[in-house]
Amino acid sequence: MDQKITDEVRFNTTQQIEVAELVKGEGASYYSLGALDPQQTKAVKSVTVWCRKFGEFMASADF
């Protein structure tokens, strides 16, 4: 069964890849995963927006 990130504990136990800093606080933003090789890109099942400064979950999306 696929484990989804539902809380901070689960977030902290997952593999994390920093893509980029948040460019704006609202509206659509687009980030390239071009730094990952094709196998790594295929392994990405979801994304989480995490505020490092405040240590807070902001949003997430499953692919």
Q: Which pLDDT score, from 0 to 100, does residue 1 have?
A: 42
Q: Which pLDDT score, from 0 to 100, does residue 28 have?
A: 82
Q: What is the pLDDT of residues 30-60, one digit of tens each?
A: 888 777 888 888 888 888 887 878 878 788 8
Q: How far apart are CA 37 and CA 22, in angstroms?
A: 22
Burial 9-46 (b: 16+ CB within 10 A, else e): eeeeeeeeeeeeeeeeeeeeeeeeeeeeeeeeeeeeee
pTM (predicted TM-score) = 0.55
Whose CA is closest to 55, among 21, 8, 5?
8
Model confidence band, residue 2 (pLDDT cutoffs 50, 70, 90) = low
Q: Which pLDDT score, from 0 to 100, does residue 37 have?
A: 83
